Structure 1
Amino acid sequence: MSSEFNNAEESPGFMLWQVTNLWQKAIRNALDPFELTHPQFVLLFSCKWLNEKNDDTGITQVQLAQHAQMDVNVTSQVLRTLEKKGYIERRPHPTDSRANIISVTKTGDEIASQAVQAVEREDRAFFSGLGNETGQLNQLLRQLVKR
């Protein structure tokens, strides 16, 4: 046998792959009515959330990418699409000529607020099978994110 595992279910990577695919399908279905992809939703809502935490002074593309743990180039591409949809605005940073300030438009704010309700509803349904162990899952996932 070419694997250290006797069963596929013993491989944490394979199990994570399966769960991730099932969860992403559920989230895609939840986001379909809003015509948002999952990356678009994550960046749009993260931008809204970070701006609210930052007194709506604006955040940079790099800050947004770091928050979402997303590649800066991918972030730029997704933001370009969100900008074309009229959900975000990019303007030059007042002190850093290499950076842009990203803010959410009124339309983007409305879409993000509606979409997050659908996503959180789907999350609750998807993870409900864990019962009160959801907190433990979050704790374990935080350990992996901090690596």
Structure 2
Amino acid sequence: MSSKYSNAEESPGFMLWQVTNIWQKAIRKALDPFELTHPQFVLLFSCKWLNEKNDHSGITQVQLAQHAQMDVNVTSQVLRTLEKKGYIERRPHPTDSRANVISVTKSGDVIASQAVRAVEEEDRAFFSDLGDDIGLLNRILKRLANH
């Protein structure tokens, strides 16, 4: 055998892969009524959330990509789609000529608010079997994210 694991369930990477795929399928289904992909939702809601935290002063694409832990080029492509849908606006940054300030439109705010309720409801259902262990899972995931 070419693996040190005698069965697949012993591999944390494989288990994370399986759980991630199952969870992503559930999230895709929750987002279908809003005609948003998961990356579109993450960036749209992150943009809304970060702007609210920053008194609606706008955020840059780099700030958004860093927050979502997403590649800057992928972020740019997704933002282009969200802009075409009328959910975000980009305007020149007041002090950095290379950057744009990204803000959420009224329709983007509405769809983000509706979609986050559906996503959070799906998360509650998906992770409900964990009960009190949800806090432990979040701590472990945070450690991995900060790796």
> TM-score over 0.5 for the alignment?
yes
Query: The residue matched to 1:56 in structure 2 has which SS?
Result: coil
Map 1:59-138 → 2, pairs under 5 A: 59-138=59-138
Q: Deviation per CA, 1:104-135, whole angstroms, max 9, x where unpaired? A: 00000000000000000000000001111000
Provide the identity percentage: 84
CA RMSD of aligned residues (A): 0.3
Residues 26-45 of structure 1: CA distance to partner in whole angstroms, max 9, x if unpaired? 00000000000000000000
Q: Residue 20 in 1 paired to residue 20 in 2?
A: yes
Contiguous gaps of at least 5 residues in structure 1: none
Q: TM-score, normalised by structure 1?
A: 1.00
Question: Would you say 1:54 and 2:54 are equivalent positions?
Answer: yes
What CA deviation, in whole Å up to 9, does each residue of 1:74-123 have, x standing for no partner?
00000000000000000010000110000000000000000000000000
What's the TM-score once normalised by structure 2's chain length? 1.00
What count of residue pairs does the alignment treat as equivalent?
147
In 2, Cα distance between equivalents of 1:62 and 1:137: 28
Letter in 2 for 1:20: T
Letter in 1 for 2:113: S
SS of the residue aligned with 2:101?
strand
